[in-house]
Amino acid sequence: MSTLVSRTRARAVETLSLDATDTRNALSAALVDALSGALAECAEDPDVRAVVLTHTGTTFSAGADLRDPPHPDALVGLLRQIVELPRPVVARVTGHVRAGGLGLLAACDITAAATTATFAFTEVRIGVAPAVISLPVMPRADPRALARHYLTGERFDPAEAVRLGLLTVAADDVDEALTPVLDGLRRSSPRALAETKRLLTARVLETFDRDAAALTALSARLFSSPDAREGMTAFLERRDAAWVV
């Protein structure tokens, strides 16, 4: 079992923890593969009623790993896997979420974060766009509110994430907030949960079917652009990109 994703189980709820703290749980090719494998095992295990997706360290996910990025097709596959998983997936966030990490969050069915968490769509600041993650984000977020954050890369708080539709709940004690949620899932019929999730995710999956190929191509084109090379170099060198005025 990969150490990039640690696993525990309590009363039929499997907790998957992103555990690459040295890279702030950045979505590397290896981490995406490890998480996909763990989710596949949960989908096949009849003893798993629900999945909690969480993290170790102070960051849920810093977005794509710029040194070892996943192929766009792999990221699309992971996001779709979460949306299609025949088990509810609950995100538990106590740290920071950036860029691609917000795609993971949006793919989950129920999302809870501590009031100390922070969020940002930082893609534009490194010369790319939130292309692939738009597949789960845009069907679930308020378009007018989302435009500001997509276009500016500003950091925002959990209250704003709730307003956008990216978070279900923000609380001082995220585990206390999730207690009734997990209790409700444990009391529900597994078959009924799967069919109800299918109802809830139908519109999101329509977006995948319609837009995945175009957004994957857009992501690949932007990541190979001169702006992306400058933006990523500037990020890694901890300086402003050349276009900053």
Strands (E) across the chain are located at 5-10, 13-18, 50-55, 59-61, 89-93, 96-98, 110-114, 118-120, 169-171
User: Which tens digits make up the pLDDT trace of 70-85?
Assistant: 999 999 999 999 999 9
Could you read off the pLDDT of 172-208 as tens digits, one per residue? 999 999 999 999 999 999 999 999 999 999 999 999 9
Instruction: List the domains of the chain with CATH numbers.
Output: 1-173+190-245 (3.90.226.10)
Cα gap 179→205, rounded to integer Å = 29
pLDDT, tens only, 75-126: 999 999 999 999 999 999 999 999 999 999 999 999 999 999 999 999 999 9
Q: Tell me the pLDDT band of 50, cut-offs 50, 70 and 90.
A: very high
Flag whether pLDDT at 15 surpasses 50: yes
Residue 139 CA to residue 164 CA, distance in Å, equals 11
Q: Which tokens belong to 8?
A: 């525990």
Please give the mean pLDDT across all residues of the chain: 97
SS3 of residue 29 by DSSP: helix
Percent residues over pLDDT 90 in the chain: 98
Q: What is the mean pLDDT of residues 63-72?
A: 92
Encoding tokens for residue 230? 């400058």
